Amino acid sequence: MATIPFDYECSRSAGFLMNPNEHERFGYVTALEGFGAPESVKDLEVAVPLAVGVAPPGFQRTSADKPVVVGKVVGVIEKFEWAGGVGDPLTLEFYASQANAMQLKSLQQRQLRTTKVKTLAWWIAGYDQETKRWFEQARPIRDAVSGTLAGREDPRLEVDLNPVSVADGIDVHVYKVLLSVVPGANMQYSLHFANSAATKMVRPWGIVVGTQTPGPEQPQYVTRK
């Protein structure tokens, strides 16, 4: 049986400045370190109107009376892709600050000291139209994953230094980054996915020698009441 693919389009503008009436999917890269370079700085500050119990890691509520959380992230996600197989790459397209984009671009333009990705974490939120509430749609079960850049001959790290406005009418610019990562040898992680506020799916990424991996025909569903 074929694996279950996960392909999420996210709104860049909602990630930076959400219209609370539109309920567009949005997401963040919350940690990134690798390629022999220093950890990418969480230098994009964002605020999103989310209910209690639903917030990216490290975000803080601004007021007990308002459902708004504020925090800093590495990037705002535009697209997340994973074909669903334990060895398939995780591909993220996201927008980063000029400082982080320049650092990654300098690595792209010269031979990488290493293709190892020490830390990668993301957080994507979706809106359940039936229950009228936000829910966590995609994230690593633990804090982060690690691996290596996909593509041995041509590692998948691309940076576009053409500036893009964070939203219409706002003179703040960010830069697009594409990153594709495969799991490291003898490493396995659990990834959380959900298609509603009530049901989630946990899928394995990576393989540890000597352990059994649940097949695609046996997804691990957990339903919360």
Q: Evaluate whether residue 39 is within a structural domain.
A: yes
Q: How many domains does the chain divide into?
A: 1
Distance CA(11)–CA(154), nearest Å, equals 28
- The answer to whether 41 touches 62, Cβ cutoff 8 Å, is no
- Could you give phi then psi for residue 197, rounded to 5 degrees? -75, -15
- Residue 200 in any domain: the answer is yes
Alpha-carbon gap, residue 174 to 11, rounded angstroms: 14
Is residue 204 predicted with pLDDT exceeding 90? yes
Cβ atoms of 92 and 140 within 8 Å: the answer is no
The one-letter code for the residue type at 186 is N
Tell me the pLDDT band of 109, cut-offs 50, 70 and 90.
confident
The pLDDT of residue 225 is 33
| Average pLDDT of span 103-109 | 86
32 within a domain of the structure (yes/no): yes
| Band of residue 197 on the pLDDT scale cut at 50, 70, 90 | confident
Q: Is residue 61 part of a domain?
A: yes
The yes-or-no verdict on residue 10 having pLDDT over 90 is yes
Whether 1 is covered by a domain: the verdict is: no
Residue-range definition of the domain harbouring residue 139: 6-223
Evaluate whether residue 158 is within a structural domain: yes
